Amino acid sequence: MPVWVSIVLPIGTLVLGSVLTMAQQARSDRRADERARRARREEFLTGNFDTHRSSMLDMQELVRDLFSAYQAEKQRRVKDGFYQYMNDFPVRDSSVKVFRRADMILKGMDAVKNASSDEERDALVEASMGELQVAKNELAGLMDDLHAMNAVLETKYAFWTEFVHFMPKLRLCMLRSGSNSVLYSGEAFIHAIFKWSEYNQLDNREKDFAEQVRVAYSAVNRALSNALTFGPYDTYEASGNRNPDGKGVNQAEKE
C-alpha cells in the first residue's frame, strides 16, 4: 500500500464521518424546530380557543336576537298598515294632480297672451285665477300627503336604530371567532337584512329579500355550529370559507 494512501484514508474517513454527523445533526435540528413550531402553534390555538368559542357563543345570541327583531319588524309593517300605505302611495296621485294642474295653468297663460280680444282675455284670466285656487288646494293636499308619508317612514327608525346597534357587536364577534366561514356568512346575514329593511313594499321582491334573510340566517347558524364542533379554524376543509359538506358559503346560501 502506498504511503499516501495510509495517510489520506484515515483523514478521508474522519472527514466523511464528520460530514455525516453534521448532516444527521442538521436533520435532527430541523425536526426539533418543526416540533417546536407545531407545539407553539398548538399552544397558540389552545390559548385562543376560549376567546374564539366565547365570541361565537355570543354571536349565536346576537344572530338569534337580530333575526327576532327582523321578524317583529316584518310583522309590524303588515299589522300597522305600513305596506298597505306604501303600496297605495297617495303621494303619487297628489303629485300627478299638482303637475297636471300646473301644466293647465301654463297653457292658460299662453292662451291669455294670444287672446284676440279684451273680453276673451278677461275670461281667460278669470278662468286662470280659478285654476290657481284649485292648484293651491291640491298643493296643500300634496304637502299633507308628504307629511303623512314622512310619519309612516319614521316608523322604520326604531328597527334601523336596533339594527345599527347590533352590527358592531356582530362584526366584533365575527372577527374574534377565528373562522372565515363565520365571518363570510355573518356579513351575508347583515347584508341580507339591510337589503330587506330598505325595501318598502309588499310584493314579490320583498318575498325574495325575505327569503335571502332566511337563507343567510340558516347559513350563519350552520357556520357557527360547524366552527364550535370542529374548531374555529375551518380545519374540516382546505378552503377557509367552506362548509363540511364541501360547498362554499355562498353556494350553501343559495340553496
Query: Can you give the pTM of this predicted structure?
Result: 0.67
Task: For residues 71 and 68, give the distance between their C-alpha atoms in angstroms, rounded to a whole number.
Answer: 5
Q: Domain segments of the chain: what residues?
A: 54-80+155-255, 88-153
Contacts of 57 (CB under 8 A, 6+ apart): 228
**pLDDT reported for residue 238:** 36
| Residuewise pLDDT in 10s, the chain (255 residues) | 555 556 656 666 666 667 677 767 777 777 777 777 776 666 655 666 778 889 999 999 999 999 999 999 999 999 999 999 999 999 999 999 888 888 888 888 888 778 888 888 888 888 888 888 888 898 999 999 999 999 999 999 999 999 999 999 999 999 999 899 999 999 999 999 999 999 999 899 999 999 999 999 999 999 999 999 887 776 544 344 444 444 444 444 444
Residue 245, CB-side half-sphere exposure with 13 Å CA sphere: 11
**pLDDT reported for residue 58:** 95
